[in-house]
């Protein structure tokens, strides 16, 4: 629950800051490939040194929906209230298009039980960027990017 508040705050901070399967090579270029892909990054945090995010996607874009699962782990760096790490698991979907790019690939991560749905746009074969539920990018979106490990 607290992660959602901080995530929304981080997104707002990024917005305000902006105001001021074939061969392996081919599959990697196509996006999520193989049976497991891990992305990591640190999101901005208003009350701490950052939120370390670790997203693990299991399955392929072409897999059956029930075969595409994920885990998302969030850890707060030097937060004054030392909140516990947050861990989510569920299924992910592949969506096509954003308001600014009809060909964009977006991954929709839906946690089991309680939890917010997360949207990540594929920037390239190694980078995902957190976007809003309307599938719009935030200004200074590079602050919200995760890199493939």
Exposure string for 40-56, b = 16+ CB within 10 A, e = fewer: ebbbbbeebebbbbbbb
- pLDDT tens readout for residues 110-141: 999 988 999 999 999 999 999 999 999 999 89
Domains of the chain: 2-148 (2.40.128.300)
Given a cut of 90, whether residue 105 has pLDDT beyond it is yes
Please state, in angstroms and rounded to a whole number, the distance separating the CA atoms of residues 101 and 106.
11
Given a cut of 70, whether residue 32 has pLDDT beyond it is no
Given a cut of 90, whether residue 39 has pLDDT beyond it is yes
Give the model's pLDDT for residue 117. Answer: 96
Please state, in angstroms and rounded to a whole number, the distance separating the CA atoms of residues 101 and 142.
17
Unique residue bearing structure tokens 């600014």: 100
Q: What is the pTM of this model?
A: 0.77
Please state, in angstroms and rounded to a whole number, the distance separating the CA atoms of residues 95 and 9.
25
């Amino acid at each position: 629950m607290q992660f959602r508040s901080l995530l929304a705050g981080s997104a707002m901070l990024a917005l305000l800051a902006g105001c001021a399967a074939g061969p392996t090579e081919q599959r990697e270029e196509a996006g999520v490939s193989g049976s497991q892909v891990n992305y990591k990054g640190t999101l901005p945090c208003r009350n701490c040194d950052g939120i370390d995010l670790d997203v693990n996607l299991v399955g392929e874009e072409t897999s059956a929906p029930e075969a595409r699962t994920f885990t998302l782990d969030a850890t707060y760096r030097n937060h004054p209230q030392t909140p516990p790490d947050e861990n989510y698991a569920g299924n992910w979907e592949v969506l096509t298009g954003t308001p600014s790019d009809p060909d964009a690939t977006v991954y929709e991560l839906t946690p089991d039980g309680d939890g917010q749905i997360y949207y990540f746009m594929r920037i390239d074969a190694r980078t995902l960027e957190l976007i809003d539920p309307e599938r719009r990018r935030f200004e200074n979106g590079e602050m919200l990017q995760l890199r493939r490990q």
